[in-house]
């Protein structure tokens, strides 16, 4: 016993001496960068171990990074690499370690996701043939980015992250608070016009007082911020119309406060398509809830919230709120006179793509390669389709167009069935996804929403909760 105590004491002394020398090396290292590099293992090793032993940890970190951090300031790709990709890679590693916990169910949603992903991957060959290896490598990278959303869906629904009722609602609350913080930062960033983060789309509004970058927060472009704000605003609407036992899962004050922040960020993003998304989603929600909505109470609540949000915007951002209203009203006032200008040049881009497909109909059959249009001159010019359906027709052919239509139909059908489920978490998330994706189907006519890789996994995660097997 005495000998064992001496050995243990020596081991503790050795560990202490090692840690002391390590700390001294960090303290004596020249420069902050070198110190940070030496200290990195002290954070990385415990974090990596926690990711391995806790199956949901990488998902939490992935979503928090995707919503609350900008890309790294490294010149790579359009926006630069993002820290969330590191946690996505760790999620694949954890999934491999936990293969025995997978229970994959090949239904219409998963089948349509995998089929569309396979079509994207197959089109990379055409990208290499028509646009060269460099552009094809970028196309392949975007195929993998879309694959992250599918993996999140699989991992959360059929993999180690399957969760019961209370876990599902805790996850939704966490995502809601993270989304609200992202929207709040976007509002503050818009007001103070902080230096733009690495990798952002230059989108501005021109006023008499100056030129201002549209609210986009941590995201690459303002449309992404508007889309995610519409997503959480629809969640708030669903929560407020649920039965009282489910409504208690959320604080009404948090929902209303978050709603004001999210609506302000949506308005300051100047994303008209996201407003259309929200209107369509709200209409779908009213249709689903038509038998239990107290219409007088609903109208009063909507009037109070709308008046409060509008007054808050006018008080905090009077010039910008007025500009946002003018931008929306211009659609109705000037669309007949100058539709292309009202739609930010989209009609010209669509005409270019349609003309190419009409004069080269064989490319409409097989496509020219996924995500090559903005980077390749193969069609005679570089083009941003700003239309999911038309872009996929040009890049992946008729099969790609049919694939995205099939995916949309499968999501809507599965979400609608989940909305009618007696399981409260499935019903809540199913209602949320059905309404939101109805808006997405329409918004896809004005944006390529499948490329929003930082927020698409968030949407597919909620879809996974809605379509999971009942506990």
Task: Specify the higher pLDDT residue, 325 or 182.
Answer: 182
On the CB side of 305, CA atoms within 13 Å amount to 22
What would the mean pLDDT of 24-44 be, rounded to a whole number? Answer: 66
In a domain, residue 49? The reply is no
**Which tens digit of pLDDT belongs to each residue from 301-312?**
666 666 666 666
In a domain, residue 140? The reply is yes
The pLDDT of residue 90 is 93
- Give the burial string for 99-137 (b: 16+ CB within 10 Å, else e): eeeeeeeeeebbebbebbbebbbbbbebbbebbeeebbe
Closest CA to 434 of 318, 287, 296: 287
Provide the number of structural domains found in the chain.
1
In a domain, residue 3? The reply is no
Q: Confidence band (pLDDT; 50, 70, 90) for 240?
A: confident
In a domain, residue 6? The reply is no
**Which tens digit of pLDDT belongs to each residue from 383-428?**
888 899 999 999 999 999 999 999 999 999 999 999 998 888 899 9
**Which tens digit of pLDDT belongs to each residue from 320-374?**
666 665 666 655 565 666 676 656 678 888 899 999 999 989 888 989 999 999 9
What would the mean pLDDT of 215-243 be, rounded to a whole number? Answer: 90
* Structural domain of 180: 108-467
CA–CA dist 330, 395 (Å, integer): 32
pLDDT at 299 over 90: no
Q: Distance of CA 177 to CAs 220, 222, 455, Å? A: 20, 20, 15
In a domain, residue 103? The reply is no
In a domain, residue 72? The reply is no
* Mean pLDDT for the chain overall: 84
Give 262: exposed, middle or buried? Use CB within 10 Å, 0-12, 13-18, 19+.
buried
Q: Confidence band (pLDDT; 50, 70, 90) for 173?
A: very high
The pLDDT of residue 33 is 62
In a domain, residue 186? The reply is yes
């Amino acid at each position: 016993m005495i000998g064992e105590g001496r050995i243990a004491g020596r081991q503790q002394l050795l560990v202490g001496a090692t840690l002391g020398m390590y700390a001294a090396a960090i303290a004596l290292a020249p420069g902050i960068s070198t110190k940070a590099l030496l200290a990195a293992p002290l954070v990385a090793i415990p974090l990596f171990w926690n990711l391995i032993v806790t199956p949901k940890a990488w998902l939490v970190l992935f979503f928090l990074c995707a919503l609350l951090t900008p890309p790294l300031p490294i010149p790579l790709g359009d926006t630069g690499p993002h820290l969330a990709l590191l946690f996505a890679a760790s999620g694949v590693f954890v999934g491999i370690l936990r293969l025995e916990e997978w229970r994959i169910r090949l239904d219409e949603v998963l089948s349509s996701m995998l089929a569309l992903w396979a079509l994207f991957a197959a089109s990379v060959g055409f990208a290499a043939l028509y646009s060269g290896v460099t552009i094809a490598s970028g196309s392949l990278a975007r195929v993998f980015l879309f694959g992250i959303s599918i993996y999140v869906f699989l991992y959360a629904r059929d993999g180690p992250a399957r969760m019961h009722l209370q876990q599902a609602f805790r996850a939704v609350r966490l995502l809601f608070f993270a989304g609200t913080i992202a929207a709040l930062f976007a509002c503050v960033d818009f007001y103070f016009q902080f230096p733009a983060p690495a990798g952002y789309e230059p989108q501005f509004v021109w006023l008499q007082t100056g030129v201002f970058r549209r609210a986009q927060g941590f995201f690459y472009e303002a449309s992404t911020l508007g889309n995610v704000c519409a997503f959480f605003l629809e969640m708030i609407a669903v929560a407020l119309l649920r039965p009282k036992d489910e409504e208690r899962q959320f604080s009404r004050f948090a929902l209303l406060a978050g709603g004001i922040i999210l609506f302000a960020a949506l308005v300051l993003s100047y994303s008209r398509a996201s407003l259309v998304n929200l209107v369509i989603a709200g209409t779908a929600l009213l249709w689903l809830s038509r038998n239990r909505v107290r219409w007088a109470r609903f109208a009063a609540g909507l009037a109070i919230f709308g008046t409060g949000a509008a007054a808050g915007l006018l008080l905090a951002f009077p010039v910008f709120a007025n500009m946002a209203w003018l931008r929306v009203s211009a659609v109705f006032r000037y669309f007949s006179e100058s539709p292309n200008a009202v739609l930010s040049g989209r009609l010209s881009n669509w005409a270019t793509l349609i003309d190419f497909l009409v004069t080269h109909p064989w490319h409409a059959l097989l496509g020219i390669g996924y995500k090559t249009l903005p980077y390749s001159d193969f069609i005679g010019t570089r083009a941003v389709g700003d239309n999911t359906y038309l872009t996929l027709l040009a890049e992946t052919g008729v099969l790609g167009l049919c694939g995205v239509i099939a995916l949309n139909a499968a999501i809507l059908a599965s979400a609608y069935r989940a909305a009618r489920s007696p399981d409260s978490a499935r019903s809540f998330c199913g209602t949320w996804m059905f309404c939101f994706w109805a808006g997405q189907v329409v918004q896809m006519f004005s944006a390529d929403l499948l490329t929003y890789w930082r927020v698409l996994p968030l949407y597919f995660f909620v879809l996974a909760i809605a379509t999971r097997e009942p506990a």
